[in-house]
A and B are shown apart, each in its own frame.
Chain A
Amino acid sequence: MSDTNAPRIAVGSPKARHILGFEPARFVAFVLFVAVVALAPMVVYPYFLMRVYCFIIFALAYNLLLGFTGLMSFGHAAFFGMGGYLCGWAAREWGLPFELAVLTGTVTAGLMGLVFGWIAIRRTGLYFAMITLALAQMVYFVALQADFTGGENGMQRIPRGTLLGFFDLSDPTILYWTIGVLTLFSVYAVNRIVHSPFGQVLRAIRENPVRAKSLGYNVDRYKLLSFTISAALTGFAASLKAVIFGISTLSDIDVMTSTEVVLITLVGGIGTIFGSVVGAFLILSMEHFLAPYGPWLLLVEGVVFMLFVLVFRRGIVGGLQDWLKRPL
């Protein structure tokens, strides 16, 4: 790994005690995000917010792999798409309650991640990325051809059901709070994973996989577990999205979805926790406001992508944490 991409704040710098597992600066960011979740629906359309939250979870999952393990996947749309389809299918055809439907989507994506990862970790770098892309394209083809996905029409009429058999999720307020709390919990959980003994190994693998191996770590097994967790969390995000909007479509499983999460992660900040939050808000807002201009959106996204790759590789939150000298 080249040193120029590495974070400037050293991992393991002496620090104050953690609060809820967050370093103090990150805890402040978390409190701000709690405030946003609580107050934003008064001024912003809640369904837009919930869409953003799903992509925050998706980006957290992706960042776990790219930012904290150093593995670049171009195949995450497969987990996002299939997670959504299977959650929808479980809710509509099997009549499973909300929790079990979401669990079905999550586990499906996790198992796919296990298979994808098992094949892809045999190679590194560009080849790793290309294997994930190829596998995802095969899954896209299956989704396009299979009957159960509804093909071009998408899987429609996915029921929301009730939370814990009691709270009716067709009530927008209850739905919003359910999704909001699950998103906050996802931020907490990913921060916990990154700052666990396991996360320490992942970051060492990102820094120097050869050395990690020579120090006695079974690097492939850690990579595989990281990939599987990332895929499962992606499936979780997709399941929530399917339940919120009542539909899963081919656009979720399209390669554009894979590039979208790369863009969110890059703009927010690779290897940061709150980069996923900021990136998802920015990119989805941009998509929302530019939607009326059709293909111009792609052009703008391309320019943004190049801008960040060329002059601002640490991303917005990455740049901010370098400036504050605190991990965010």
Chain B
Amino acid sequence: MAEAILQARGITRAFGAFKAVDGVDLDVREGEIHALIGPNGAGKTTCFNLLTGDMPVTAGEIRFDGASITKLATHEIARRGLVRSYQISSIFPAFTALNNVRFALQQQRSSNFDFWRSELRLERFNDRAMELLEDLGLAQWAHARAGDLPYGRKRALEIATTLALDPKLILLDEPTSGMGREDIGRVTELIRKIAKGRSVLMVEHNLPVVQGLCDRVTVLARGRVIAQGNYAEVAGNDLVVEAYLGTAHA
């Protein structure tokens, strides 16, 4: 069995008396696509925020790639190779698509405080940035203003930017939300492609996508893990059926 690249133990986030995430244990193994599912308000996005340091944990420990990241800041966690994408496409609207990707590539070099140098130095990242845009079918939009791209393309651009950091683990927050059937198909293919040689943890509402794509599934309800396993195991679990149908009929 492959080693777990991400291990969360008993992570908890309380807002006053309310525990949005309550003692969650989560293992993402190296090389797998792992889905985090659950009804609305189950704590999936909060879980992501805890893993990436966007929000501090109230209790619990998170280990990534063999070291504790519980107390690290978001940018430090990102530098270790755990990078997320957001539920609402998070791009730099006034930059060209190429510059969006180049900005991520620029991070891995140390010259970013050099305020006396010309930005033309950054052009050495252009080739790699173009490659990434091509991989995601964005080559023809390379010089378009990112804010002007259609929704699905913005999404793809955000993933290209995330990939530019060459992360060991990618967190995708609802990658197919708000997409039509065709876009969903394309993004699913894309995720399968980018998952080669790295691990993916994704929040996803679309269960057919989860079924077709994910190696393992963790189900959250009211801040707790109620089931974990492959899709078939989880789908047959009584607690999961109750959590989904229970809320669906409420």
Contacts and interface: CB of A to CB of B under 8 A. Distances in A.
A196 B114 contact: yes
Interface stretch (B138-146, B174-182, B237-245): B138-146
A306 B71 CA distance: 46
Contacts of B187: none
Contacts of B115: 192-193, 196, 198-199, 225, 229
Contacts of B102: 12
A3 B92 CA distance: 9
A196 B94 contact: no
Interface residues on B, range: 35 or more
Contacts of A229: 115
A203 B112 contact: no
Given A198-B115, A211-B92, A216 B99 contact: no
A13 interface: yes
Interface residues on A, range: 35 or more
A204 B103 contact: yes
B99 A11 contact: yes
A6 B93 contact: yes
Contact of A197 (B94, B111, B145): B111
A197 B90 contact: no
A213 interface: yes
Contacts of A217: 75, 107, 112
Contacts of A215: 75, 78, 83, 103-104, 107, 161-162, 165
Contacts of A225: 113, 115
A42 interface: no
A218 interface: yes
A11 B119 CA distance: 11
Nearest to B107: A216
A196 B120 CA distance: 8
A210 interface: yes
B93 A207 contact: yes
A96 B89 CA distance: 55
Contacts of A211: 86, 90-92
Contact of B122 (A9, A14, A197): A197
Given A6-B94, A11-B94, A197-B119, 14 more contacts: A8-B145, A192-B118, A195-B119, A197-B106, A197-B111, A197-B114, A197-B121, A199-B119, A204-B92, A204-B103, A208-B90, A214-B75, A215-B162, A216-B79
